[in-house]
Structure 1
Amino acid sequence: MKTKTVSFTATTLPRLTDEQRASLTSLAARPDSEIDYSDIPEITDAQLKTGVRGRFYRPVKMQITARVDADVLEWLKSQGKGYQARLNAILRREMLNALK
């Protein structure tokens, strides 16, 4: 039996039914004190210390056109395959240093 994969974007989502809207409205109106956390394990201090932020984060790649000095491009390419990834890594390192 074949399985059909259905995908939606923000613009192609089906409209909510009146029943779904009413359910969401009633949930939003409930105070936080009524939320049942009994089935969620509490996070320990040890877990917080070993946790890694953004571990599964993958930034969206965008195709651009950029003018780079010829000697810079040759230097990147001379290090082997993956010069675009290296260029991105260099730019990301500089961005993170500037944000500190």
Structure 2
Amino acid sequence: MLRWYKPVPFSKLHVTDVPDLPGVYVLLRDPADISSVLKIGPARSLRSMYERELAIPDKGRGLHPQAMMFCETWADAEEAQRLIVAYRRKHGRSPVMNSQW
């Protein structure tokens, strides 16, 4: 069973709140709403992924994530794929930022 951390808002103040370990991350549009999933993905370093997303400027598309939720796991790619499949099964589509189009 995966142990999920509470959503961490994107801010330079919270960089150290994210561990430098492999895991699965979920980008959220709204930190207060864990159902506002934009992307699910694997990360060899959750902190590096957080810093990368933090550095991307919002271009007014409305798809810029506001928070990242994550869990630590060594099987990051497999867990991410499993979560994407479960999301697709429930919602009939992949998360917006996981879509190829």
TM-score, normalised by the number of residues in structure 2 = 0.21
Larger Rg over CA atoms: 1
> Which structure's relative contact order is higher, taking Cα pairs within 8 Å and 6+ residues apart?
2
Structure with the bigger percentage of helix:
1
Structure with the bigger percentage of strand:
2
TM-score, normalised by the number of residues in structure 1 = 0.22
